[in-house]
Amino acid sequence: MSTKTSVDTLESALAGVPILDVHTHLCGAHLAARGLHDILLYHMVVSDLYAAGCPSGARLTQFPGWATREEAEQRITEALPYLGFIRNTSCYWGVRIILRDLYAWTDPVTADNWRRLDAMIRERADDRAWQREVLRFVNIQRTCAEYCRRGEGEADDVLQYSLEWGMFMRCQWGEFDTALYDLERTWGRPPEAPLSIGGGARPATDRTLRTLDDVHAAITHYVATIPYDRVISTATGISTDIDYRVPSDLEMEAALKRRGQAGPAERDIYAAYIGEKFLAELEKRGREIMFQFSLGAEPLPFETSSRISQKTLAQVAEMVARHPGLRFQCFVSSRHANQTLCTMCRELPNFSLAGFWWHNFFPQTIRHVMSERLDMVPVNKQVGFFSDAYSVEWAYAKVIMVRRQMARVLAEKIDQGQYSMEDALAIARAILFETPQSLVGMTPAQGRLR
């Protein structure tokens, strides 16, 4: 069987493999795009446009608020002159897939026609049946979204939930007490939306961490407040800039007193101390929740760059080993770190990998990461897909993109005699559908999506 024939045959066969999407930002009340801006200005495309010279690099207004029509029009109009410069990127390939397949639109988006396209998208924004049909088109059985976006449970038939709230081990641009502030804003409160990437405005908190007892009380509250009956995982980040050695109580007490003059040394103590205490408490509920975390995307003024040190990888391995009763799953945004993380999966029973996140979501990198994991990691320790989508349209596009890369990777392994066709399809089903259930705790939608 030639590689070309294998790819064509496999891509068709893979369309019949059901998928569980283990990480998204879908909103229960608004599963679909609310207008052209939610497709054309998805944050990964915004980065393409900003690189091409578009003046704005920030994301549009997001949950719990939404971009107004005025904001959407201003940003679309601003972006239009730069679309030609990004027609080569894989992110814009995703835009074309969405517009062609879901809206039957193949024309270039221009100043003369974008409002007509915008109206078409807005017409379907509240069509609940169509939203579910989009998921059916690509065989997504269910997705996992942020718990704070659940709303009134309008989409519980297609969504499960992850708690994306406190980010105690994630750096923010130009800040040194982020871990303290993020713990303060969650102390005494129910789960809410996480801090946005980029930091910036920090609303006043109800309480202030002044003593070690305060820190312990806030962590205890956080872990006790997690709605374990409604979430299956966390969604947080681990920064490579932090030194994750375990600080002593005395070091933390001293660092708290220096908060007003905090620098990198204090930042590391705050994050490492709070992170370790949090994991120790969460481990007590380890059978009820998975600790999913992102790695390798470090803050810049608007978004992030892919960056990770070998020291961080070693310290993450130590962190995972210190908490054998807690399941850890990594979303990595660094292609070169994948091989190290695969070796960690082989030696740490409670550590696994999932999908292709952010700076790894490019076709050549997807193929590299996927092939490496298939060679090194058992299928019950890896999840083959998550979309990180903010609308069902982008979940659709990303499934198409990943499925095509998977067909090429599996075809190569068939052609070299490593897999049979039956092996390849069974492996695909395992990492796309079975492992998200057995490892993460996802459940397929019951019956036909409606």
State the maximum Cα–Cα separation within the chain, in Å, rounded to a whole number: 68
445 belongs to a structural domain: no
Question: Within a 10 A sphere around the Cβ of 109, how many other Cβ atoms?
Answer: 20
Q: What angle do CA 308, 314, 315 make, to 5 degrees?
A: 90
Give the residue from 97, 125, 153 where a domain finishes. 125
281 belongs to a structural domain: yes
Same domain? For 139 and 60 the reply is no
447 belongs to a structural domain: no
249 belongs to a structural domain: yes
Same domain? For 186 and 48 the reply is no
Same domain? For 374 and 249 the reply is yes
Same domain? For 106 and 225 the reply is no
Same domain? For 185 and 303 the reply is yes
Q: Which pLDDT band, with edges at 50, 70 and 90, does 368 fall under? A: very high
Cα-atom radius of gyration of the chain, to the nearest Å?
A: 22
22 belongs to a structural domain: no
Q: Which of 231, 31, 241 is nearest to 130 (CA)?
A: 31
Same domain? For 337 and 366 the reply is yes
Same domain? For 88 and 229 the reply is no
Same domain? For 416 and 284 the reply is yes
Number of domains in the chain: 2
Q: What pLDDT score does 62 carry?
A: 80
Q: Are 55 and 46 in contact (CB under 8 A)?
A: no
Q: Which of 195, 202, 266 is nearest to 236 (CA)?
A: 195
Same domain? For 151 and 225 the reply is yes
Same domain? For 352 and 436 the reply is yes
Residue 75 domain boundaries: 34-125
pLDDT of 448 higher than 50: no
Same domain? For 146 and 204 the reply is yes
CATH of the domain at 430: 3.20.20.140
91 belongs to a structural domain: yes
Give the residue from 125, 156, 173 where a domain finishes. 125
Q: What pLDDT score does 2 carry?
A: 52
371 belongs to a structural domain: yes
Give the residue from 125, 148, 175 where a domain finishes. 125
Q: Which of 329, 241, 333, 268 is nearest to 295 (CA)?
A: 333
pTM above 0.85, yes or no: yes
Reported as a single tens digit per residue, the pLDDT across 75-128 is 999 999 999 999 999 999 999 999 999 999 999 999 999 999 999 999 999 999
Question: Measured between alpha carbons, how far is 180 from 270 in angstroms, rounded to an integer?
Answer: 7
Q: Are 317 and 274 in contact (CB under 8 A)?
A: no
Q: What pLDDT score does 149 carry?
A: 96
16 belongs to a structural domain: no
Same domain? For 314 and 169 the reply is yes
